[in-house]
């Protein structure tokens, strides 16, 4: 719990994402000489204006209340609140989990002024942290490692579009359109995102996005979609034996601190950055607090992911029915899903039983005992031809691309085309 970086010695942070910037802000406020390094040209540059969700059901504390307690100003970025969500069943039935509480906050990722990345960057700089972009540093020369994903366990493909449709969010469980995962629709202030996530490695991956867009076009006829660009991202899911090694703190995705089931990670990214800074300032022990505050949720998500990997649309349908039945009973659509995400003794037991078979050792983890969830192979049911409607969506995108529309991924999810830089 000692100040490992010393009273005057500079503290170097590798990565100017949410976890690195959170740590930098707290340390700089405490008077430390903080230097943040990132290989990219700006914070949020590995994203391309896509939307991401901050869920608000897995823990008792509201994340924005936590931000305030840690000294952050959430008004520095745009966050759109939703209390009602369309839940799309595998058989295309649409129901609505709802709550008096906030279910989701949607934030934008990227380099625009209103994104969460830029909001956190401004706070770090105002606190006195120095940020060095296009700066490559060695891991062993840094105190905090916050450089995001290194491997690939899952990918996501999306299309950003203009729309006159009001703000909306929809979450779809469909193993054909999103193998082992889910798809979603988010609309905020006239801009929409349709995205599909793939937890199984595929060829001709663009067909999944085309088919997903075609589905939403059919079932949301007032979507009024004008494509802007297509975006992609990847998730790297790991379990670490040690979160602090040789005086280095591994935070956020670099420390495997995220949700294995559906990929939520922003909350744990900021939280782990805060804990690392507090350890350096002598206020806590990082290893102890990560294991106490965050790891139970990560382990629960590993157990959930193991179960998700072994079911299909039949079980997804039963999950949707139970979710809505519980809402009918309790009058709150967040209780059932909250229980799914929260630690329980039987999920801890399942975690210990399945991880030896589910995760693979990472030999390049500098002795931290990292085990990674591999990108799983496709199943026979993943091989199918696009519908005529999906082919039209693809042709529409080809026209947009010829007119200057940008795309940040290649066609196959087994190609290393979704950059982590």
Q: What are the sequence ranges of the domains in the chain?
A: 11-48+58-77+107-150+237-299, 301-372
**Exposure class string for 64-88: b at 16+ Cβ within 10 A, else e:** bebbeebebebebbbbbebeebbbb
351-395 pLDDT tens trace: 999 999 999 988 776 668 899 999 999 999 999 999 999 999 999
Structure tokens at 380: 């026979």
Residue 414 has pLDDT above 90, yes or no: no
- pLDDT at 2 (0 to 100): 40
What is the average pLDDT score of the chain?
Answer: 92
| Rounded-to-integer distance, Cα 368 and Cα 142, Å | 16
341-351 pLDDT tens trace: 999 999 999 99
Residue 119 has pLDDT above 70, yes or no: yes
165-206 pLDDT tens trace: 999 999 999 999 999 999 999 999 999 999 999 999 998 889
CATH class held by domain 11-48+58-77+107-150+237-299: alpha beta
Structure tokens at 301: 């998500």
Question: Considering the entire predicted model, what is its pTM?
Answer: 0.92
Residue 49 has pLDDT above 90, yes or no: no
Residue 130 has pLDDT above 80, yes or no: yes
Report how far apart, in Å, the C-alpha atoms of 50 and of each of 166, 176, 231 are: 17, 23, 7
- pLDDT at 365 (0 to 100): 67
């Amino acid at each position: 719990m000692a100040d490992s970086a010393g009273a005057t010695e500079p503290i170097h942070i590798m990565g100017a994402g949410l976890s690195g910037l959170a740590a930098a802000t707290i340390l700089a406020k405490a008077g430390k000489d903080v230097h943040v390094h990132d290989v990219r040209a700006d914070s949020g540059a590995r994203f391309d204006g896509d939307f991401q969700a901050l869920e608000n059901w897995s823990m008792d504390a509201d994340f924005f209340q936590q931000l305030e307690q840690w000294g952050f100003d959430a008004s520095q970025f745009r966050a759109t609140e939703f209390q009602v969500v369309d839940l799309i069943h595998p058989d295309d039935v649409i129901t609505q989990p709802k709550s008096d509480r906030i279910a989701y906050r949607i934030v934008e990722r990227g380099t625009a002024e209103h994104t969460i990345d830029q909001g956190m960057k401004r706070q770090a700089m105002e606190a006195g942290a120095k940020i060095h972009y296009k700066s490559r540093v060695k891991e062993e020369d840094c105190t905090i490692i916050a450089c995001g994903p290194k491997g690939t366990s899952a990918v996501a493909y999306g299309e950003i579009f203009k729309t006159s449709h009001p703000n909306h969010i929809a979450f779809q469980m469909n193993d054909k359109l999103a193998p082992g995962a889910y798809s979603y629709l988010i609309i905020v202030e006239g801009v929409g995102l349709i995205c599909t996530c793939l937890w199984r490695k595929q060829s001709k991956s663009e067909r999944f996005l085309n088919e997903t867009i075609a589905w939403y076009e059919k079932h949301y006829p007032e979507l009024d979609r004008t494509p802007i660009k297509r975006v992609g991202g990847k998730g790297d899911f790991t379990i670490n034996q040690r979160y602090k090694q040789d005086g280095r703190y591994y935070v956020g995705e670099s420390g495997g601190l995220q949700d294995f089931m559906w990929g939520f990670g922003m909350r744990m990214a900021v939280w782990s950055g805060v804990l690392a800074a507090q350890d350096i300032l002598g206020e806590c022990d990082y290893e102890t607090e990560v294991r106490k505050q965050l790891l139970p949720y990560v382990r629960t998500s590993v157990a959930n992911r193991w179960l998700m990997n072994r079911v299909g649309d039949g079980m997804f349908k039963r999950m949707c029915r139970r979710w809505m039945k519980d809402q009918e009973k309790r009058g709150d659509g967040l209780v059932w899903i909250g229980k799914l995400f929260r630690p329980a003794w039987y999920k801890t037991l399942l975690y210990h039983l399945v991880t030896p078979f589910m995760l693979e050792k990472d030999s390049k983890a500098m002795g931290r005992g990292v085990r990674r969830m591999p990108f799983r192979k496709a199943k026979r049911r993943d091989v199918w031809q696009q519908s005529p409607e999906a082919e039209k969506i693809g042709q529409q995108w080809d026209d947009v691309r010829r007119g200057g529309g940008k795309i940040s991924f290649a066609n196959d999810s087994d190609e290393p085309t979704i950059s982590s830089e």
